[in-house]
Amino acid sequence: MADEEKFDLETTCFQLITAAGTAKSDYMEALNKAKEGDFEGAQESIDEGDKSYREGHAVHSSLVQREAAGNPVPMGLLLTHVEDQMMAAEVFRAMVVEMIDLYKRLDGKTEGQEA
């Protein structure tokens, strides 16, 4: 049974890593679109990244709920990597959104701002 639980945790970890990686890729795509002046496309990519991140966050929340219910989640290198990737995706998004805002200002697309 312990092996089955471990397999489930490994599968969950890889789902989270995939969600975080997809989100970061979408955020990078958004930045590239903004760099080219495609701000609408950039927002679409941010939205896609947010969707992937939310999917991962839902899975992550299930691990937290499991722990809160008294069912410990074994902490290992894989789960540590998951936590790192989830936090990195969140920080990456914040930085990309700020950089897109700068591209908009440079392009004169932000109201009340001069390039």
| Helix, strand or coil, per DSSP, at residue 29 | helix
Higher pLDDT residue, 72 or 4? 72
The catalytically annotated residue of 51, 66, 81, 109 is 81
Q: Is 81 a catalytic residue?
A: yes
pLDDT at 108: 86
Alpha carbons 11 and 13: distance in angstroms, whole number: 5
* 27-49 per-position pLDDT tens digit: 999 999 999 999 999 999 999 99
Mean pLDDT of the chain: 90
Model pTM score: 0.84
Q: Are 96 and 31 in contact (CB under 8 A)?
A: yes
Task: Sketch out the chain's domains with CATH numbers.
Answer: 2-107 (1.20.58.80)
Annotated binding site for Mg(2+): 84
Residue 6: per-residue pLDDT: 54
